Amino acid sequence: MATARVLPFHPHADAEEQATTHEEFVQAVRRAVVERVPDPQLRELLLEAKLVYGGGPGDVRGICYHQAWQNGSSHDFIEIAATGEESHVQLAGTTIHELAHTLAGPGSGHGPAWKAACAELGLWVAQAAGQEYLPEHFETSVRAKIEALPHPSDGQPTFANRGTGPALPRRQKPCPLGIGTRGGRSRGAGSGSRLRLWVCGCPEGTAGRKVRVASDTWDATCNRCGTNYRLG
């Protein structure tokens, strides 16, 4: 297991005085970022995913199993791995990383739809594996919310010091993208991204922007051409 790094965030003084568990911490991170999603159905999708803090398979920091939890209907199952834990900020980053798989949908892998989902949830710099999470990787307001959270005070994993159990690799593998998906390619009908393509009115070939957002009712204006974005 990698040596724990000093947390680059500086929690508020009152946050330091509060006690919380790892399980409570990842749930609090989810609540902090889900409210950024404008579509209420997609927010509910993220909140209904089964999010747990567990041991993990030993070679990833987190994993998302699409449609692997039944509770009246099928939901994603997301595990944040103790065997891959390095710091509190890494736990927060990994939680957003895995929630982005749920937001992007099965078949998106670590492709453009997943990266857009990470950005929408407040993780502006997102890598498939081995990311050393830094404060500037998070959107400012999301970073502030994470800073305000009490850090887990229920201990820390010591798998690498036990002499038994999983021998952790020096380099973490990419998470399995939600079991059954590869490289962002669709795996059949209904497995594509939940993000919608929005375009502005800038002439083709100019500096106009195309943006993917998880909403059918996004209200935004291009600062270059002054027109509202529309579904592409």
| C-alpha torsion 178→119→62→34, nearest 10 | -90
Q: How distant, in Å, are the alpha carbons of 116, 145, 200, 208, 226 from that of 223? A: 20, 28, 10, 9, 5
- For residue 80, what is the enclosing H or E element? strand 74-81
Residue 62's domain spans which residues? 13-161
Domain assignment present for residue 81? The answer is: yes
204 and 120, same domain (yes or no): no
134 and 223, same domain (yes or no): no
At 50-106, the pLDDT tens digits run 999 999 888 889 999 999 999 999 999 999 999 989 999 999 999 999 999 999 999
Dist CA 113 CA 15 (whole Å): 34
Q: What's residue 187's pLDDT?
A: 34
122 and 230, same domain (yes or no): no
At 159-191, the pLDDT tens digits run 766 544 444 444 566 776 544 333 333 333 344
Dist CA 139 CA 142 (whole Å): 5
213 forms beta bridges with 196
**H runs (alpha helix) in 60-177:** 88-104, 112-120, 140-148
Dist CA 38 CA 29 (whole Å): 17
230 forms beta bridges with 199
| Confidence label for 199 from pLDDT (cuts 50, 70 and 90) | confident
33 and 143, same domain (yes or no): yes
Domain assignment present for residue 5? The answer is: no
- For residue 47, what is the enclosing H or E element? helix 40-48
153 and 207, same domain (yes or no): no
State which amino acid sits at residue 121: L
Domain assignment present for residue 188? The answer is: no
Beta carbons within 8 Å of 41's beta carbon, 6+ residues apart: none
pTM over cut 0.75: no
Dist CA 122 CA 155 (whole Å): 27
206 and 124, same domain (yes or no): no
Domain assignment present for residue 42? The answer is: yes
How many domains does the chain divide into?
A: 2
CB 37 within 8 A of CB 119: no
